[in-house]
Structure 1
């Protein structure tokens, strides 16, 4: 009875039996496709759990993100073969199949690139995190993917792709000239990612800016300065400067000088270099290089000291320098020598040019020697 009804009745000049066959095909195709995708995803998850192969987990996640709309469109196309469609529309079914399958494959690949980039970035530690290369590769892959899909669809529907690509090339040159500053920063970002002059967490100094790198983007780099504010600079400007990366310093070379007074005896001066070397060697995390009586200065007998701190830590260096300074001060006090102060010798003469005697004094005139702080008076 039902079969007779389906054979007799028509809708839109199409027998009802054809509509029924098409509807059953749509439902069956949808269920089968969903079941197959779910089954493949579960099998991949089981194998990934057993072998730890990351590619299986990635593929399973991509298949689970299959858009139901495309599965429904594929099912409708499968059911359309049981209906006698107009010739013009029937001839377009192959193109529609190509568009649907192409878009779904593109969505799978796009999702795979996103998951790959996310896993790649999450695998990096906070100190070595540098997303430039990963972000650039993900962006290039996705751009190439959608560009190829667009060209393939246009070629499939009969568009002259060669002429289209040529026109895009001319337009691309014009766009590149208009955004050359942005492209310059983009390629500078790529250079930072490849060459790695610094990484996130490094303390760098360039021009008058000093701070810790917090983020390296496609156009700008963000630096947290010592005073606390965030400094944003373009990647191009950053690479044009000379960059001092203190994070990669293996050891720190220290040079400092001090002077003792001219009344120090030669025997005392001979002992001072040994005192300094001992102070440097006992400070810890140091390597002594040299300590010398360098020169006869204007106000002092000058010594120069060079040593190395075997760590790039600045706070450690300051602690060591403090211990060295205190040790030198204590030993010079025990030795009987004193640090020099800036001095000046003042020569007093009478109006006619005759020098004032050391113990002489003229009525109405000041004493022959006036001693000021930081000076030494002599007749």
Structure 2
């Protein structure tokens, strides 16, 4: 066997041995990192472990081919310093990509776990994927520059492709950022009762593209996130679920206005004390509003404990008003039309 070939083989074998030793050291470091409280050492060891081992083998092969003259003339270009630099760039890109990916994966999901909903988790997943593509694209461009290959067509093509993608996916992108805004700004959260446009219901899911609510009649409505962030949303659950109801009442002309107000206030107080629907820390208010066409118009402002009992609140008040008005001899007017015929 030719001495150069023998030395080349021995060089490669030595590289494999060193890579094996590096692998042993990396495994030991991984086990040691698991015993520490911080996760930074786990991230660093995981990022450099495999690339370093592959790099040792690649460099040993490069040395064997370059310094022992065993490669044919037509492939001599493989032994240029540009190829070695490309190997360094490749290994560096691999390490940086793994490092950034693991940082986002570990710390991003740790932050997302502290919030409700899965929108931020999906954002973290998207960032993990995006960082790999961006770092590897930059690394490949550097390798091409190192090899003196014109990258202008690649950059132009990437720019056109990015513009085409952005135009085709503008709704998707706007909805995605709308979901991110909802997650950060928190105008509502899962479980809140909201009203958007004509839809009134509870938030079920805040997704990357849309938000789903379940209306009070059981329908599931899917609303694009960009619509929500560009329009008004009423949140009935925040800052607390209490809500004020306005209950209009009419009494016939001739009724004692002061007595009617007293009765309405007594009715409100009785409903607060004897039902579970009302907030007892906020006093009701009664007002005589106006002289109507055929009735005296009053209004009761009363606070309910929660937003989800509107019918119960109105029923509790109206039943008591009907009973008290009947007992007090106060008439509740209704529309009448008087027709007179001249002879």
User: If the TM-score is normalised by the length of the shorter chain, which range does it land in?
Assistant: 0.7 to 0.9
Q: Give 1:90's aligned residue.
A: 79
Asked if 1:285 is matched to 2:267, the reply is no
- 2:299 maps to which residue? 304
1:99 to 80, 87, 90: 90
Distance 2:171 2:257 in 1: 66
Are the equivalent residues in 2 in contact too, given 1:289–1:306 (CA < 8 A)? yes
CA separation of 1:244/1:150 partners in 2, compared to 1, >3 Å: closer, same or farther?
A: farther
Shift of 1:256: 0.8
Larger Rg computed on CA atoms: 1
Partner of 1:181: 171
Provide closer, same or farther for how the CA distance between residues 199 and 137 of structure 1 changes in structure 2, counting only shifts above 3 A.
Answer: farther
SS in 2 for 1:314: coil
Moved more, 129-138 or 143-152: 129-138
3-state DSSP class of the match of 2:98?
Answer: helix
Secondary structure at the counterpart of residue 115 of structure 1: helix
Give, in whole Å, the separation in 2 of the partners of 1:114 and 1:339.
Answer: 71
Residue in structure 1 matched with residue 308 of structure 2 by the alignment: 315
CA contact (8 A) 1:275 1:331 kept: no
Unaligned runs of 5+ in 2: none
CA distance change for structure 1 residues 234 and 119 in 2, over 3 Å: closer, same or farther? same
What does residue 204 of structure 2 align with?
214
Instruction: Map 1:214-233 to 2 at 5 A.
Output: 214-233=204-223
Counterpart check, 1:254 vs 2:239 = no
Under a length normalisation based on structure 2, what TM-score does the superposition of the two structures give? 0.76
**Count of residues paired in the alignment:** 329
Q: Of the candidates 329, 332, 344, which is equivalent to residue 336 of structure 2?
A: 344
Preserved contact between residue 130 and residue 193 of structure 1 (Cα < 8 Å): yes
Q: Pick which of 29-38 and 138-147 moved more.
A: 138-147
Determine helix, strand or coil for the equivalent of 2:78: helix
SS of structure 1 residue aligned to 2:35? helix
Distance 1:181 1:59 in 2: 38
- TM-superposition CA deviations, 1:141-160 (whole Å, max 9, x none): 44433332232232232234
Gaps of 5+ in 1: 1-8, 354-379
Aligned partner (choices 185, 188, 191) of residue 201 of structure 1: 191
Cα drift, residue 326 of structure 1: 4.0
1:33-67 Cα deviation digits (max 9, x unpaired) = 2122112222222122xxxx34345556x459x55
Q: Report if the CA contact (8 A) 2:85-2:146 is conserved.
A: no
**d(CA) in 1 for partners of 2:189, 2:123:** 12
Higher helix share: 2
Deviation at 1:318, TM superposition (A): 4.7
In the alignment, what sits opposite 2:59?
77
SS in 1 for 2:204: strand
Over the aligned positions, Cα root-mean-square deviation in angstroms equals 3.7
1:37 and 1:63 in contact (8 A); partners too: no
Contact 2:283 2:302 in 1 (8 A): yes
Q: What is residue 124 of structure 1 aligned with on the other side?
A: 115
Structure 1-normalised TM-score? 0.70
1:262-281 to structure 2, matched below 5 A, reads: 262=253, 264-265=255-256, 268-269=259-260, 271-279=262-270
Q: Deviations over 1:89-131 (max 9, x none)?
A: 22223423432442244234324323333333333345x9654
Residue 255 of structure 1: how far off its partner (Å): 0.8
Q: Do the aligned residues in 1 keep the contact of 2:251 with 2:296 (CA within 8 Å)? A: yes
> Is the alpha carbon distance of 1:150 and 1:209 closer, same or farther for their aligned partners in structure 2, counting shifts above 3 Å?
farther
What is residue 289 of structure 2 aligned with on the other side?
Answer: 294
